[in-house]
A = this chain, B = another copy of it.
Amino acid sequence: MRRKTYVDGPRSDIRVPFTEVVLTGDEPPVRLYDTSGPGSDPLVGLPPLRKPWWTGQTQLAAARAGIVTPEMEFVAVREGVTPELVRDEIASGRAVLPANRNHPESEPMIIGSRFLVKVNANIGTSAVTSSVAEEVEKLTWATRWGADTVMDLSTGPRIHETREAIVRNSPVPIGTVPIYQALEKVKGDPLELTWELFRETVIEQAEQGVDYMTIHAGVLLAHVPLAAERVTGIVSRGGSIMAAWCLAEHRENFLYTHFRELCEIFREYDITFSLGDGLRPGSIADANDEAQFAELRTLGELTHIAWEYDVQVMVEGPGHVPMHKIKENVDLQVDLCGGAPFYTLGPLATDIAPAYDHITSAIGAAMIGMFGTAMLCYVTPKEHLGLPNKEDVKAGMIAYKIAAHSADLAKGHAGAQEWDDALSRARFDFRWEDQFELALDPETARAYHDETLPAAPAKTAHFCSMCGPKFCSMRISHELRAAGMKSKSSEFVEAGGRVYLPVAPSA
């Protein structure tokens, strides 16, 4: 059985949610990280939990001043670490706690290589498809399946309205790419974009409570020709918009030239920068090329500027990268960006499987997570083909929770393996219901088991349909263990100290 539980923090207004999996027999319950929020009525929105906590300081400013904020206390309980570690990591820039003062509905979370690897889910309307209600439903659905943050990438009409509904109903930080809305305002013509229009759009979104924004300030005029001969050119929408603007105007990217002004706005709301990788590779052929790394050097420069303003920063990464070129991405990003959290899209380990890019990219995501990437942007089966529906959002989330947890295990994250161990013990003990409840997706696990052995007694049977009743290796193992235990008994010693007892397991 699963139930929601809360762990009290050091203050009465800090109650940290967990999913508690109650197991059978003597097994202790297992507590899982829970992103689903308290549930909301879409017409009302969520309660403004963090409203009383705003002091006018960004989390980074507070951390640098030695202050542990209520948000940091919350996160410490959530991650099972000390508040001091949380404060330290934020102060050094190695972690961010995205929390716009105008999004008090969010439950604090942290993104950094010392913490659990996080997953972002992209949703959003486009000119071609989707409604506001559908997007709010996708938001709720995504957080139910473990989305740690959600990006609203709406590009069609009703951008403002969609975002308002999403922010008011979101228990997780919301990210956006403001250039999309700015471009809508000029009817899609990049040449009409101006710094003033962009600034106004950022403030509009900041007021609504957007927690982090992707800013493609690293696409410099000098970088654009580096992408001209690529197999897939520029695949980032924001990147291509800024590249078009730079080339047409023959001027430097206004996001770069006005970056310090952006920092001032971001500081006012405690918005976190997500420095966009507008020149990320869009194919295996283009991975780790000069266009990509030239932009990364600029992102490193911008990271340090943002830190001057006490503004939190994470840095976006690729994209499409074959496995043997993944580690170089992380090493370079850590070096150039002073350890600011890396936030990558996949990467896809091959280009050959459209319709399965949640899998091609889960491979790359798990690896880049192991190497230190702090947050993974999910990829759904519809990537390259269309907009994700609810089932695609779920498929993307499941694949990415697998990648993130695999990375947590590989990094030796304290406590991560308890979940695996609890499930494996349930498997070994034939506690089928416990296995299902501990599974990332209990419903599907149960449904698959039912397909071949639907009767209720099979849920307590000491075998399954794979081997049938006679051949079960797990059952034989139990008998071996019983024999093994006996070998430690006095009988064993009296028998002359032989290591193996001639005990016949029943067949």
Interface centre among A250, A367, A406, A417 (most CB of B within 10 A): A406
Chain A: interface residue total (CB-CB under 8 A): 132
Q: How far is the CB of A117 from chain B (nearest CB, A)?
A: 12
Taking CB atoms, residues of chain B closer than 8 Å to A190 are: 476, 505, 507
Instruction: Name the contact of A420 in the complex, choosing from B250, B350, B382, B504 (C-beta under 8 A).
Output: B350
Taking CB atoms, residues of chain B closer than 8 Å to A409 are: 284, 322-324, 349-350
Q: Is A240 a contact of B470 with CB atoms below 8 Å?
A: no
Q: Is A469 an interface residue (CB 8 A)?
A: yes
Q: How far is the CB of A35 from chain B (nearest CB, A)?
A: 16
Q: Is A433 an interface residue (CB 8 A)?
A: no
Q: Is A439 an interface residue (CB 8 A)?
A: yes
Taking CB atoms, residues of chain B closer than 8 Å to A447 are: 355
Instruction: Name the contact of A505 in the complex, choosing from B244, B387, B466, B473 (C-beta under 8 A).
Output: B244
Q: Is A362 an interface residue (CB 8 A)?
A: yes
Taking CB atoms, residues of chain B closer than 8 Å to A423 are: 351-352, 354
Q: Is A237 an interface residue (CB 8 A)?
A: yes
Q: Is A465 an interface residue (CB 8 A)?
A: yes
Q: Is A451 an interface residue (CB 8 A)?
A: yes
Q: Is A464 an interface residue (CB 8 A)?
A: yes
Q: How far is the CB of A386 from chain B (nearest CB, A)?
A: 4
Q: Is A222 a contact of B452 with CB atoms below 8 Å?
A: no
Taking CB atoms, residues of chain B closer than 8 Å to A243 are: 476, 480
Contact flag A285-B420 (CB < 8 Å), given A250-B500, A479-B244: yes
Interface string of A243-282 (1 = CB under 8 A from B): 1101111100000000000000000000000000000001
Which 6 A/B pairs are nearest by Cβ-Cβ distance?
Answer: A233-B477, A228-B484, A127-B468, A283-B424, A188-B470, A240-B473
Q: Is B127 a contact of A353 with CB atoms below 8 Å?
A: no
Q: How far is the CB of A320 from chain B (nearest CB, A)?
A: 8
Q: Is A235 an interface residue (CB 8 A)?
A: yes
Q: Is A363 a contact of B362 with CB atoms below 8 Å?
A: yes
Q: How far is the CB of A126 from chain B (nearest CB, A)?
A: 5
Quick one: which of A466-502 are within 8 Å of B by CB? 466-474, 476-481, 483-485, 487, 498-502
Taking CB atoms, residues of chain B closer than 8 Å to A467 are: 126, 155, 237
